[in-house]
Every structure is written in structure tokens, then in C-alpha cells.
Homo-oligomer: A and B are copies of this chain.
Amino acid sequence: MSLLVTGSIAIDTVKTPHGVSEECLGGSAVYFAMAASFFGPVRFVGAVGADCPFDFEKLFAGRNVDLAGLEIRRNSKTFRWHGTYHENMDDRTTDYLELNVLAEHPPKIPQSFKDTEFVFLANTTPRLQIELLEQLTQPKFVGADTMNHWIEGHAGDLKNLLKKIDCLIINEDEGRLLGRDYNPIKAAQNIIDMGVSVLIIKKGESGSMTYSKHKELFLLPAYPAAEVKDPTGAGDSFAGGLMGYLAETGRTDFATLKKAVAYGTVVASFAIADFSLNGLMAINRADIDSRLRTLRDLTQF
């Protein structure tokens, strides 16, 4: 089935203990689209300024990514992020940020995209996420990301958003903040009670927890990556693999969701093995399926 992503396109400068990558391609929509493209066609919605140095046609060449929703705004500048990862590779500092085009009105969903069934709204203001979603005519399964800033400062809009989406994918700290309980199951239930059908909590190196409105639960460790060069985009690659697999199968039952989470985990493990999109560009679907089998072996008893 059809899959659409809306999110950021970034010019990133990333420092990690393994090196520096200056002015490289990043952004939630870019990582998501690359990750999801292993599973089927992706409809891409995002905006850049006239300064954007990247050739997206070339980037996605040979992949089924429809760029009809890519807006190049002549009088705007592209979103820029500079970040430094610390030795544990989980903590990071934002050194510099220019919202630029992200501070403007959201991109317009092209007419040819309006019938999309599987939708991912990457992290931005909850109000913009709602405005983007309202442009779609028949969404079947909508996933979204959010962050501490919106949980703390835009609680009303966020609560409205949670009533309109099916699946929230957030990290552990965000889950505690939104669910208001140290016990992860109780916090998850509190978030489910806000209106989503499925909650996926990403716990970095500790894996993920998936919890449904029917109280179904799935726990999966992270894939144990021997090399982590750049964690940027791990969460968006996880979401891309997950939503990509759901759209490929057209199903959203819990058994399918479990396998989708495993695919997301595996795709993220490839993304962090190199800077920028290089980790994802170096693999194919067979690599993903092979690592999925390894992950299954590592977790069965």
C-alpha cells in the first residue's frame, strides 16, 4: 500500500568520537524515506531553501521515492543542525541550529499523494502535524514522532494530534514525560489512554517496547552493533523500516507490528554504522533480511 512521509531535510554537521562529517545530508524525512524504500514506494514531502546543495533525484536514483512533494523555496534557507555525540554515543549536544524553512508554513501535500494509506508525520510542532494530516483524504494507519519540547510546551495540540493518529513512536525520556510514570507499563497505558492504538518506545541501546490498546506487549533488544559511527537518523531509520514493512504487507495487526519493529531495529543498526546516509546506501533488502534472522537467533531461548 502507499506510504507517505513528511519531515525535515537538513544540512548536518556531525561530530562523533569517530570523526566529523561537515555539511552532510540529514533530516528526518530523508532518513525515513531511504529506510522505507527497501520495502516499497515512498511519497516524500519536505522543503528546502535555495541553498540546498543536494541532488535528491540522484540520491534516490533506482529507489522508488516519489519527490513530487519536495518543495524548493527560492527565498528560504535550508534547515541546519550541528551536533556532537559524546563517548557513550547516546548523549548528544546541539551545537548550532538554524530552523530556516522549518519555521515557515508546512509543505503542501501534492494532489497525487492525497489518497495515501500509510503516513508518517516526523517530529515537528503538533499543530503542523495536524495540518499536514488534514490534507490527506483516507489515511489508514498514521504514525508520528514528537519530542520533549512539544510535550512540555504544546500539550493541548499534542493531545489533539494523539486522537487523530494510530501509532506514536517516541524515546524513553519522552515516554516518561508524556506518560507521567516511572513504571514503563503504567506510563505506556497512560499514553494509550490519550487515544493512540499503538505506542512504540525507543530505548536506544536497550531496544524497544511496543504496547497496544489491547494491552499486547512486545520487547525487543537493539541489534548489537559492533561499530557505531554516527547515531544521527537512527530513530527516523527505525520508523522508516517499521512503516515500510507495514505498508508492504498492508497489515497492522500485532503480529505484523512485532515483525515491523524488528525490521525497524535492523534498518537502524545499518544507519548508525556510518555517517549521514552512507550506512543505508551501502545495503540492500537481502542484507536487511539476513540481519533480521540474526536478530531472531540472538533473542530466542
For A186, the chain B residues whose CB sits under 8 A away are 226
- Find out whether the CB atom of A226 lies under 8 angstroms from the CB atom of B185: yes
For A139, the chain B residues whose CB sits under 8 A away are none
Interface membership of A149, Cβ < 8 A: no
- Find out whether the CB atom of A220 lies under 8 angstroms from the CB atom of B184: no
Distance to closest chain B CB from A114 (angstroms): 33
Known: A87-B182, A182-B88. A207 touches B224 (CB 8 A): no
- Find out whether the CB atom of B300 lies under 8 angstroms from the CB atom of A300: yes
- Find out whether the CB atom of B258 lies under 8 angstroms from the CB atom of A301: yes
For A224, the chain B residues whose CB sits under 8 A away are 184-185, 209, 217, 219
Contact with B along A65-95 (1 / 0, CB 8 A): 0000000000000000000000111000000
For A205, the chain B residues whose CB sits under 8 A away are 184, 206
Interface membership of A121, Cβ < 8 A: no
Interface membership of A259, Cβ < 8 A: yes
Interface membership of A221, Cβ < 8 A: yes
Per the bound structure, the CA–CA distance linking A259 and B261 in Å amounts to 24
For A301, the chain B residues whose CB sits under 8 A away are 218, 220, 258-259, 261-262, 296
Which B residue's beta carbon lies closest to that of A300? B300
Which B residue's beta carbon lies closest to that of A208? B221
For A221, the chain B residues whose CB sits under 8 A away are 207, 219-221
Interface membership of A203, Cβ < 8 A: yes
Partner of A299, one of B183, B185, B219: B219
Per the bound structure, the CA–CA distance linking A207 and B209 in Å amounts to 12
- Find out whether the CB atom of A299 lies under 8 angstroms from the CB atom of B89: no
Partner of A182, one of B89, B183, B203: B89
Per the bound structure, the CA–CA distance linking A253 and B126 in Å amounts to 52
Interface membership of A298, Cβ < 8 A: yes
Interface membership of A228, Cβ < 8 A: yes
Which B residue's beta carbon lies closest to that of A258? B301
For A182, the chain B residues whose CB sits under 8 A away are 87-89
Per the bound structure, the CA–CA distance linking A262 and B219 in Å amounts to 14
Distance to closest chain B CB from A234 (angstroms): 15
Contact with B along A208-236 (1 / 0, CB 8 A): 01000000011111001011100000000
3 closest Cβ contacts across the A-B interface? A206-B206, A219-B221, A258-B301
Residues of A within 8 A of B (CB): 87-89, 182-186, 203, 205-207, 209, 217-221, 224, 226-228, 258-259, 261-262, 296, 298-301
Query: With A184-B205, A219-B298, A220-B299 given, can you name 13 additional A-B contacts, CB distance below 8 Å?
Result: A89-B182, A184-B224, A185-B226, A186-B226, A203-B206, A206-B206, A207-B207, A207-B221, A209-B224, A220-B301, A258-B300, A262-B301, A300-B300
